[in-house]
Structure 1
Amino acid sequence: METYYSEEELKTLGIKKYGFNVKVSRHVALYRPEELEIGNNVRIDDFTIISGKVVLGDYIHIAQSCGLYGGNSGIYMEDYSGISSHVVIYATSNDYSGRFMTNPTVPEKYTTGINCPVYLKKHVIIGCMSVILPGVTVEEGCAVGAMSLVNKSLVAWGIYAGAPVRRLKDRSKHLLELADKLEEEVSRLGKQIHDLKVGDYIEKKNLITYESAVQYASITGDNNPIHFETKEAYQSYYGRPVAHGMILAGFISGAIGGAMPGAGCIYEAQTFSFIRPVFYGDTILTRITVISIDAERNRVTLKTECFNQNHDCVLDGEAVVLPRKKSLPF
C-alpha cells in the first residue's frame, strides 16, 4: 500500500480545499478537515495531527509527528514555509495563570480559552521539537533552531533559537533568487487545471506585417490576391490588401500554447468569428480568458479575442483545451 493517499482517496477525506501534487500520509490525523485548506506541492508526513482551521500555501512540508492546533482562529503557513519533526503550533490554548480550570474534560463555564491566529510567512523554517504559541507571527525568511520556544513575533530574515527564542543573526536572502528561478521554470512547464480559476486571463501583442502574410501563404498555399499588393486587392470591398484572418488564429494558438494554460496543453476545439478586417501595420492585442473549468474531465473553456490598436474587436471565439496533467519533475 502507498504511504500517501491517492488523488481519489483525498476526495473522501472531507478537506475543504486542496491543489495538485498534494501528499498526505495515511497516518495523519485530521480533526475538522472541513476547515483545512491545502495549496499545491504540499507534503504532510506520518503521525502529524491537524486540528481546526489550518491554511497551507504552496510548496510546504510538514514533517512527521507535528501538531497543528488551529482552533477557530487558525494557523496560516505561506508559500515555501516548512516545519521539521515534532514541531507543535498552537493557535488555541488554556489560561495557565490559575484563575481558571484547564483541559477539555472540564465544563466550559470553569475554563477560558486563548485563541489568537499564528502566521508563518514565506520562506520560514522551524526546527524540530520547537513550540509556537498563540498570537505569534513569524515574519518572512525567519529560521528557528531546534527545541525553541517561540512566544513572541519574530522580525523578518533572522536566525533565531532558544527558550524563549532570541535573534542570533541575519539570514541570507539568496534563497529568493532560487525561488524566482523555480517559479520561472514552473511557468515554462504550463499550468495544470488546479492552477486556473474563472476570470484568469493573459494578453499578448503582435504586429501584423506584410512579410508575415507572405510566409503564411508559402506555408498554407493561401495565395488569394486580396492579401497582397495586387489590382484585385485595391478593387476589393476594403480597397487595399487585407491580412489573412487565420494569422490571428495563430496568435491565439500561440497564446494558449505559450501561456494560458501553456506548455503541455492539448488544443481540443476552437470557434472563430471574424468581426473586422485586419490590415498590415495593425497592432493586435490577443486576450485569452478562462470562462469555465471542468476539473473532472480536465478541460478548460477559454474566451479567445483579438483587438486592433483602436480597441476594436476583430476576432471573437471560444476554445476548449486540456491542461497538462503530468506533475512537476522535481
Structure 2
Amino acid sequence: MSLDHGYYLEDLSPGMEASVSKTVTDEDITAFAELSGDINPVHLNEEFAAGTVFKKRIAHGFLTGSLFSTVLGTKMPGPGCIYMSQTMKFKGPVFIGDELIATCKVTAVDMEKGRVSFDCVCEANGRPVLTGEALLMVSRRPTDD
C-alpha cells in the first residue's frame, strides 16, 4: 500500500480488517456541533442532558459514525476508495472520555462490479455502541499496458 493509494480490489479478501481508536473530548463534541449545525442540547448542555435518560451529555451519533469513514478512507481500503452506502444502528450512548475503537471487516469482494462490503462495529470502552455495513467502490490495480 502506497501513500497515494490504499488497497486495490485485488488486495482485499473476506476477513481482512482495520481499526482506529479515539477518545472523545468535549472539544470534539463542540467542534462537531459547529461543523454539522446539530446543536441539540443533549450534546452541549450539561443541565439539559441531566434531565434525559442518559443523565449526562452524549456525543453525536454521526461523530461516532465518522470513525467508520476514518477507517475506510485512511486504513482499508484507504485512499482512492469511494463510499457508496453506510448503514448505522445506534446501540448505546457515547460519553465524553469514552475510548472508541472502530473496526471495519471485509465481508465480500465483488470483482465484477469493483465493490467491497464491510461489517462495521464501534465499541466504547469494550461495549458496542454502533454497528453497520458499508459498501465501497475500490479501483483495480493499474496494468502496464
* TM-score bucket of the superposed structures, by smaller chain: over 0.9
Aligned length: 144
1:224 and 1:278 mapped to 2: Cα distance? 15
Say yes or no: does 1:305 pair with 2:121: yes
- Which residue of structure 2 aligns with residue 318 of structure 1? 133
CA offset at residue 245 of structure 1? 0.8
Secondary structure, in 3 states, of the residue corresponding to 2:78? coil
Query: Are 1:263 and 1:324, in contact at CA under 8 Å, matched by a contact in 2?
Result: no
Calculate percent identity across the aligned residue pairs: 31
More helix by share: 2
Structure 2 residue matching 1:268: 3-state secondary structure:
strand
Q: Please report the RMSD computed on the Cα atoms of aligned residues, expressed in angstroms.
A: 1.6
2:73 aligns with 257
Partner of 1:17: none
Q: Which runs of 5+ in 1 are unaligned?
A: 1-182
- TM-score scaled by structure 2? 0.94
- Indicate the SS of the match to 2:139: coil
Runs of 4+ in 1 over 4 A off after TM superposition: none
Q: Which residue of 1 aligns with 2:35?
A: 219
| Closer/same/farther in 2, CA of residues 238 and 264 from structure 1, 3 Å limit | same
**Who is 1:294 aligned against?**
110
- Partners of 1:328 and 1:225 lie apart in 2 by 53
Of the two structures, which has the highest relative contact order with CA contacts closer than 8 Å and spacing of 6 or more?
2
Matches within 5 A, 1:43-192: 186=2, 188-192=4-8
Using the TM superposition, give the Cα deviation of residue 229 of structure 1 relative to its aligned residue in structure 2, in angstroms: 3.1
Residues 214 and 296 of structure 1: CA distance in aligned 2, closer, same or farther (over 3 Å): same
Q: Map Cα deviations across residues 114-134 of structure 1 (whole Å, 9 max, x no partner).
A: xxxxxxxxxxxxxxxxxxxxx
CA displacement at 1:326 relative to structure 2: 5.8
Evaluate the alpha carbon distance shift between residue 212 and residue 327 of structure 1 in structure 2; reply closer, same or farther with a 3 A threshold. same
Which structure would you say has the larger Rg?
1
Alpha-carbon shift at residue 308 of structure 1 (Å): 1.2
How far does residue 325 in structure 1 lie from its aligned partner after superposition? Answer: 3.4
2:59 to 243, 249, 253: 243
Contact 2:10 2:141 in 1 (8 A): no
Structure-to-structure mapping, 1:199-214, within 5 angstroms: 199-214=15-30
What are the Cα deviations for residues 43-69 of structure 1, in whole angstroms up to 9, with x where unaligned?
A: xxxxxxxxxxxxxxxxxxxxxxxxxxx
- AA aligned to 2:139 is R
Looking at structure 2, the residues matched to 273 and 252 of structure 1 have their Cα atoms a distance apart, in angstroms, of: 13
Label 1:196 to 1:279 Cα distance change in 2 as closer, same or farther (>3 A).
same
The TM-score with structure 1 as length reference comes to 0.42
